[in-house]
Structure 1
Amino acid sequence: LGTTLRIGDGDFDDFTSNWYKAVGIGLSITIAVQIAWAALPPLFAGAVKLIMMPLVGKKKKTQDAMNQVYKLPDFNLALRLAQTMNVLFCTIMYSSSMPILLYIGALYCLVAYWADKVCLLRLSARPPAFTQETIIGAIKLFPLAALLHCLLAFWMLGNQNVFPSDFFTDATEQHYIDRYMSGSNAKRYEQIMYNGVPTGDLESFQWYIEARIQDGFRRAAVGEAILIGMILAYYAAYLFYYVFGAHLIACMRTCWLCFHSKDGKKMSTITDETYTQAVQEMIQSGMIHSYELKSNHRYDLAYTAISELEQRHLNEQSAAVGPPVAIPQPSPVVVVVQQQQPQKQ
């Protein structure tokens, strides 16, 4: 995998000052170029399309050919979302040691917003009915961008050759000096930290990684270490809830109903009710009360798509004989349960 991805084949073994001169400046310029690259081509292509419509349309002989001339291009949502996520992720990841990327990213968001708005509303064909799932899925990736930002900031700001800083306590500093900068380790520390790890020396490389990790707990980067712990805790809690959350909630709900009364009835009384008597309570609590597709909120998108296809099919069949047939929208199930009065003896 390392050979395929060419890991370790670069000219820099760390985020040194030469890295910022060679790679950091190039990265900033590349992201800045994306501002013009994202806005100008769609606007230019749309403007040319509008100008050429009346000129080219006069030469067409059929209605279908003229329709193709006057048809606006589709708005490529997938491409624009990918470009925007690429710029935002690069900006967030490297902005800790290159703050100018924050201004470039903000300018990109401003230009991209207005460019996409003009292209979508004025220079593109009417798009299909997209749902919010695509954008929500992209937004859910930003905690990962925050984690990558903290990891890179922890490593970048801990580099004492570029961002020198002190330890929080004298005891921590003394432990660091005794471990890496005293006795025979002083010469080794100077050689490795300033000249790099010798090729193939795994022991020195491990020693270098340990020293760099401890450098991350200095004043310049200790805040990033705290944020890394918080984000990892968030992901651990989210993963635990995603795997076991539904089962734990169902178990806790069952235990609660077993040991507490509800509306004067015990659990045994509730479970003895018929479906007709319990359906209203099931609907109010959000439980699935039917095997029909429309009754399960997880399949709302699928049911809507099937209904639209059926509506379109019926409209095509009835177009020649009359107005389109409208399919009534599904309505929530409402069951009226009438309580029977006890008969007098």
Structure 2
Amino acid sequence: MLINQSFITDIKSIISNSRENAIRAIDHQRTLMYWHIGKRIFEEEQEGKDRADYGSQLIKYLSGQLQPEFGSGFSVRQINLYRQFYRTFPIVHTLYAQLSWSQYKLLLVIENQEQREFYIAETVKNNWTVRQLQRQVDSNLYERLLMSNDKESVLAVAKKEKLPSDAKEIIKDPMLLEFLGMKREASYYEKDLESAIITHLQDFLLELGNGFSFVSRQKRIHIEGDEFYVDLVCYNRLLQCFVVIEIKTHKLTHQDIGQLQMYVNYYDRIEKLPHENDTIGILLCASKNDAVVKFTLPVGQKQIFASKYELYLPTEKQLLDEVNKEIVSFEEKG
């Protein structure tokens, strides 16, 4: 008997989707259970507010009653977490079914409300896994975007209240490539870095930002009999444009900028369709002199960007110091 293979594929897809939906539904109910436990604990604490140590005694006693019957999920530490969960998200209707309890636990560590709202919006919008959310928090994505944008714009784009109208709203500087596993002190060629990026392409696209998809590697272009090779070509569906990426393992030079400008011009004149926007060029470099970039490019241009890559995760303090430098520089110019 001949069976259409698409029939089997459809059935398997139904089973997989149903299982995933069931897992998400169970996890959401678990999340709601923890929220209601936290709410009830808070209400009971309010009844004993005249005693300073009532809360801690209450949680310790509650853990002793629940843990023998329901397991380690009701340790003193976990119950404290449920209480914190309710205090952080006091309105149950603001909870997202798309977020798992593991993701909420990561978000509870973030004290700044605007920062927390940003990571919630990005997680829901991009369907980040727990690992992806953890990586973005660890890499201080919010602070890095603030280095070239204001808080209102960053949050508005994350919440889909506005589409990015300028490439700088989604392109980060620095870009953190710690997932490549390459040592900062090691000597390597541009092709080595490029190969590592292709190997970890999903992580690289996540680091690039929202709306990026991979198009080509070492794209060959012909210009009047001469051949050139573009390191990486991507496309951004939000900006609706090609994104040409050149990798430089040395300090950026004006010649590098000129080379990328030629590639951008080629894509604008040859590859770009009438409905698409101007091509964006990103120079991914080991180090750069911002003044050289500024004086090499025309005033007000919005197509070429130089982004330094880092092969390790900087501390939050290091990035906040950089953000503060940007703010001071902006104020001085104003």
TM-score, normalised by the number of residues in structure 1: 0.26
Query: Normalized per residue, which structure has more helix?
Result: 1
User: Bigger radius of gyration, 1 or 2?
Assistant: 1
Higher strand share: 2
TM-score by length of structure 2 reads 0.27
